[in-house]
A = this chain, B = another copy of it.
Amino acid sequence: MFSGRFDQLVQALRILPSVGPKSAQRMALHLIMKNKEGALGLAHALNEATSYIHECAVCHSLTENEVCDICLSNDRDEQLLCVVESPADVMAIEQSGSFKGKYHVLGGHLSPLDGIGPEEIGIPYLIQRLSDGLVTEVILATNATVEGQATAHYLVEAAKHLPVNMTRIAQGVPQGGELEYVDSHTLSQAVHNRMRMK
C-alpha cells in the first residue's frame, strides 16, 4: 500500500512484541503523518542502543560499559546475590525497590528437551562466582514456572558443597488477589507456606 518503503516500515515494526499487522500499519501511519521527528529519534535510539548495549561481564545483565552500575556500586550488599532468568527480571525487582544486593542473570532456565543444560545458562560460572566466599545468601528469583522451579532446585543441589544460604522468593496469593480467582495450585502453596501472625 502507498509505497515500497511504507510496506517495509510496516514489516519492520512487526518485529516488536505483540504488534500485529493492523497495529504495525497504524504505527507506520502515525509516524509518517504525525511524528516524523519522533520516527527519526526512534531510528537513532535503535542504532545507538544496538551498538552500545551489551551484557555485563560480571552479572550478565545489560550495560553500556564493561561492568554494569549495580555490580560496581559500593552501596549495595555484596553478601546478597539474587539469581534471575533475564535482565527484565532485574528491572522488575529494581522497580519493586525490595532488594539492595547484587544480581546474577542466568539468561534462561534449564530446559533439557530444548538442549539447554547447566552449561548453556552459565551455572558453572555462577558456582565459581559463589566460591570466593563473599556471598552469604543466594536468593533464587527464577520464574515460578515449572522450568524456573527446576532451575532453582538444580542450583540448590549444585551449590550444596558451598557455605552459602539459598532462599527462594515466596509464592502465594498476589497483592489484591481475590481467593475465588486464584488458581488452586497457588492457593495450596499459600496455605502450605502460611506464616504465623501471633
Contact = CB atoms under 8 A, between A and B. Distances in A.
A6 to B, nearest CB: 6
Interface of A: 1-6, 8-9, 11-13, 15-18, 23, 25-33, 35-36, 38-50, 52-53, 61-65, 68, 86-88, 91, 94-95
B48 A32 contact: no
Nearest to A91: B1
Contact of A33 (B40, B41, B64, B87): B87
Nearest to A32: B53
Nearest to A18: B23
B36 A1 contact: no
A163 to B, nearest CB: 32
The SS class assigned to the A binding surface is helix
Given A12-B46, A31-B50, 19 more contacts: A1-B95, A2-B62, A2-B63, A2-B87, A3-B62, A3-B65, A5-B49, A5-B53, A8-B48, A9-B45, A12-B38, A12-B44, A12-B45, A13-B42, A15-B41, A16-B27, A29-B86, A32-B50, A43-B46
Contacts of A86: 29, 33
A50 B35 CA distance: 9
Nearest to A56: B2
Contact of A32 (B13, B16, B49, B95): B49
Nearest to A30: B17
Given A30-B17, A32-B50, A86-B33, A2 B41 contact: no
Contact of A15 (B9, B32, B35, B91): B35
